[in-house]
Every structure is written in C-alpha cells, then in structure tokens.
A and B are shown apart, each in its own frame.
Chain A
Amino acid sequence: MKEKKSVKPSLKHQSGHVSSFKFAKLFDPEAFWDKDQLGDVLHWIRQIVALVCGLLWGSIPLVGGIWLVLFLLISSGIIYGYYAIILKVDEEEFGGHGSLLQEGLFASITLFLLAWTLVYSLAHF
C-alpha cells in the first residue's frame, strides 16, 4: 500500500475554489490537494484535452468511431498519469480510481464530439 499523505492542509483552503492556486502546484508531488481542488484541475485538464483532440481530429480529418475510443483512451491515460505518476496522490483518499477518472468525463465527451463535428463539417464540406 502506498504511503498516505497528510490530510491536514498546509495551505489555508478557501471554500473549494482555486483562489490560492499556484501554477507550480500543478506539478508538485508534495503539495496538498483537497478533493474539490483536485476535481477541478482534473475537470479542466479533461476539457482541454477534449478540445485539442476534437480540433485536431476534425482538421486532419480522422473519421470513424475508433477515433472516439482513442480519444477516451488518451484522455483517461493523461488523467491517470497526472494524478498517479506526477502528483502521486493516494486515490483512496479521493474515492478511488473510478471517482477521479469520472471527473468531467461526460462534459469532455460532449465537448470533444462538438469540436470534432464542427471542425469536420466546416473545414471539409
């Protein structure tokens, strides 16, 4: 079992939002993460990945359902790599892998489909 991190906050947390947020914290494995902050960061990473992949897939263009599956794999891989390898958080403290990987998933799928479809329809017809 992984060594658990301290649950006591090292920074004074301000009502679940990223007001005291520092960019360096995003890559600091020693930083304290509370559930809301980590959830928000994972949500926005997923949305950025969805937007970038959607624009890219649409402009190339990549066609076929397999690319949707590839997007899901890339997006989930990035999220998993981020919290498990870069931040090294103990997932049990945040409700397990399922809860962390679900963060912003549905919104990112719809955003990806929207970007992919719009760029594909506008650029290639």
Chain B
Amino acid sequence: MATPSFSAFKYSDSITIAGISFFTAIVCEAISWLLIYRRTSYKSLKSAIDKASKKLETMKTDSTALRKSKTKKIDRVETSLKESSRDLSLFKFKSGAVVALILFAVFGFLNSLYEGKAVAKLPFVPLRIVQKMSHRGLQGEDPTDCSMAFLYFLCSISIRTNLQKFLGFSPPRGAAGAGLFPVPDASKTN
C-alpha cells in the first residue's frame, strides 16, 4: 500500500500509517472546531474557567491567615469552577462521540490493510503487557515486531495532543480532573 517513492524501504507502511494518522488528527480537530470551539458559549465557558481557576489560585496563595469569610469565598469559587468544568465536559461530549467514531473507522480501515503484518521494527523489547498491543495479531516470536495497532496508538496520542496544544484547543488546566461525574469532597460533607 506504500507510495512508490517509499517502497524501497522494508517498513514503508509505517510512513503511510503516520501520514494517515496525521491527516485524521487534522480532520478530527476541524470537526471539533466546527462543533464546539468556534461557538461563543464554549469560549465564554472556557474564559470563565480560566478566570475562576486564577482567582482561586491567588486567593489560596495570598491568604496568610484563613478567615472564615475567606474560606466561604474560596468554597463558592470552587463550586462555580466545578460547575463550569462539568458544563464544558458535557459540551465536549457531542464532538467527542463523532471524533471517536472517526478514529474507530480509521482504525478498522488500517486494520483491514495491515492485519497480521509487521509495519515497523521496535528498537527495544517492550514489557509483556505492552507486547499484547505491539505484537497484536502478528505471527512469529520476535517481540520487536511492531503491529499496526501500536504504531497507530503512538501516532494518534503524540500527533493529536501536540496538534491540540499548537492550535490552542487543549482543555483549560483549571478544568483538569473535573469530569462529568464529580467526586464529592469528604472535607466539605463533614
């Protein structure tokens, strides 16, 4: 399946997989932009989270003596931050489903092309647990043979994360860890 210019290499398929993965990442980000990032409601939610997390940070670092009123204020900001983060996750859920669908479709397509074929050679022997993925569906005992699944995993994580960061589409740091299902804070329930 390799393009003629790369066919001289034994593992030219790895370039094809990386290229397809890069293209898929761009398509996924374009879809996410269409569905969420360009909307004003998303932008306002993101800036609200940024503001709230910064406010919380300065409140926590500035306070030398924590008075009761201050603690209450911090609690209030924290609650609003959690709510906004939850809204943001809900917002992202829709495009997340579409993106997941595309990634699955591309994975299925690549799987049909390269099933049972070593697409690259690993320069190290992976741990046994990693070998389940890196040697998935391959014949032979050589643990350094790399399956399409592992290469696709490496490509999609590294390319997508960096592309999101480059385009400024990464989730705000303040929202990290706040998912759809908030974990109750034990210190506040007591």
Residues of A within 8 A of B (CB-CB), count: 37
- When the two chains form their complex, are residues B172 and A16 in contact, meaning their CB atoms are under 8 A apart? yes
C-alpha spacing A117/B61, complex, angstroms: 44
18 A-B interface contacts by CB (under 8 A): A7-B62, A34-B54, A35-B57, A35-B173, A39-B173, A44-B165, A62-B123, A64-B123, A65-B124, A117-B120, A117-B122, A117-B123, A118-B120, A121-B120, A121-B121, A121-B146, A125-B10, A125-B11
Task: Please tell me if B158 contacts chain A, counting CB pairs below 8 Å.
Answer: yes
C-alpha spacing A104/B170, complex, angstroms: 12
List chain B positions with a Cβ less than 8 A from chain A.
9-12, 14-15, 18, 47, 50, 54, 57-58, 61-62, 120-125, 146, 151, 153-155, 157-158, 161-162, 165, 168, 172-173
C-alpha spacing A93/B57, complex, angstroms: 9
What are the 9 closest A-B residue pairs judged by CB atoms, nearest first? A121-B11, A111-B158, A107-B161, A110-B158, A121-B120, A110-B157, A120-B123, A125-B10, A114-B154
A13 vs chain B, min Cβ distance (A): 9
Within 8 Å CB of A67, what residues of B?
Answer: 123-124
C-alpha spacing A63/B123, complex, angstroms: 5
Which of B12, B61, B157 contacts A93 (CB under 8 A)?
A: B61
Known: A15-B50, A125-B10. 16 other contacts (CB 8 A): A17-B168, A61-B123, A62-B123, A64-B124, A65-B125, A68-B124, A106-B157, A110-B153, A110-B154, A110-B157, A116-B123, A117-B151, A118-B15, A121-B146, A122-B11, A125-B9
- When the two chains form their complex, are residues B14 and A122 in contact, meaning their CB atoms are under 8 A apart? yes
Within 8 Å CB of A117, what residues of B?
Answer: 14, 120-123, 146, 151, 154
- When the two chains form their complex, are residues A121 and B50 in contact, meaning their CB atoms are under 8 A apart? no
